[in-house]
Amino acid sequence: MSFARGKFGIEYTRRPTDEKSHGLRWLFVLIGILLVVSFIIARLFTRQPPTRIEPESRPSVPSAPSMPAPAAEPMGGTNRPAAMPSTPPAAPRAPVVPSQPKPVKPVHPPPSPPDPQASREAAKLLDTVRQRPAAERILLEKLAAAERQGETVVAIDTIKRLCDRPAVADLHPQLWERLGQLNMQLLFSERSSPWTARVTVKRGDSRDRIARDNRTTGAALERLNPNVNWSRIRPGNAVRVLQYPRAVLVIHKRLGFADLSLRGNFFHRYSFSGGAHAAAGVYPVTSEPGKSARALLRSLGITFSPENRADLEMFLAPESSINVSDQ
């Protein structure tokens, strides 16, 4: 539609249908531009800074407070110290040192408690120390120290070395007697000894069978294993045995003492009475009637104290022997 001056004033005429209109198109373009501009302005004003996400495993470390800058001094003023911050700076953390495992100390069996009789015997041996040669004096002092501290193995070794020296021949009877006491103490202690071993119980084993297999006695097994109930032993249990002792008891009729040896080495000395008419010779100990250790000693007329007799019967198993000497 358009306006024009006509015959009757201002008149309008209709636009032909085939004529295109450009005003409506520009209107839509303007509206689109306004919408885009308004959207951009809204995003700019409503935009927020991105949130920083810290990892969980990262510990938060407090930052050290910053030191304030000193104020400018006026002309002619005095030097004043700068104000210190109210909160002291955080102390530096000590480096973490990994804990070291504690060293494992080797386990040693505790020494035997000192024997009062041993202390008295050691004191007797030291009565004449000053009159001995230097080598023997050192050994005697070592023996006395071992006796006081309860070191049985050291004392046994020292006595054996002293018995090999003629300079202390007058002390040999005391040394042999004390050596037997220490051997007995070591045998029935919790320490290992050269005369014992540990064996594993097998199916069908009993106290007597284990004693027979190791050529010892049931009394020795009971004394070496005081906490074992022999009626309830089972396969796999471990017990201590006096293994193949090959015990020999030498009776010195004139001297009045008897020496017991195990595996060919001196073990203990016993005193006895009687036996003056016992014939010299070798008397084997067997399981036959009248051939046990008790029966043989009775037939020889040799008497030991009840305690010593029990010890000898414990050691003198079948296949042992009793030797009678005229000395």
The total domain count for the chain is 3
* pLDDT number for residue 79: 44
Q: Summarize pLDDT for 258-295 with one digit per residue, the tens.
A: 999 999 999 999 999 998 899 999 999 999 999 999 99
* pLDDT number for residue 13: 59
Separation between Cα atoms, residue 259 and residue 250, nearest integer Å: 5
- Long-range contacts of 68-75, Cβ-Cβ distance < 8 Å, separation of 24 or more: none
Separation between Cα atoms, residue 184 and residue 260, nearest integer Å: 11
* pLDDT number for residue 126: 60
Strand, helix or coil for residue 10: strand
Structural domain for 132, as ranges:
116-187
CA nearest to 196, candidates 249, 259, 258, 267: 267
Separation between Cα atoms, residue 16 and residue 1, nearest integer Å: 8
**Do 212 and 271 share a domain, yes or no?**
no
**Do 255 and 305 share a domain, yes or no?**
yes
Q: Does residue 179 sit within a domain?
A: yes
User: What CATH number is associated with residue 200?
Assistant: 3.10.350.10
Separation between Cα atoms, residue 90 and residue 226, nearest integer Å: 67
The predicted model gives 19-33 an average pLDDT of 74
pLDDT at 67 over 50: no
What letter would DSSP give residue 303? E
Q: Does residue 54 sit within a domain?
A: no
**Do 210 and 256 share a domain, yes or no?**
no
Separation between Cα atoms, residue 143 and residue 224, nearest integer Å: 27
What letter would DSSP give residue 132? S
> In whole angstroms, what separates CA 286 from the centre of its chain?
46
What letter would DSSP give residue 97? P
pLDDT at 138 over 80: yes
Q: Does residue 310 sit within a domain?
A: yes
Q: Summarize pLDDT for 203-259 with one digit per residue, the tens.
A: 999 999 999 999 999 999 999 999 999 999 999 999 999 989 999 999 999 999 999
* pLDDT number for residue 35: 85
Q: Summarize pLDDT for 170-215 with one digit per residue, the tens.
A: 899 999 999 999 999 999 987 888 899 999 999 999 999 999 999 9
* pLDDT number for residue 40: 82
Please give the backbone phi and psi of residue 230, each rounded to the nearest 5 degrees, phi first.
-70, -20
**Do 293 and 320 share a domain, yes or no?**
yes
Q: Does residue 110 sit within a domain?
A: no
Q: Does residue 308 sit within a domain?
A: yes
Boundary of a domain, candidates 140, 167, 187:
187
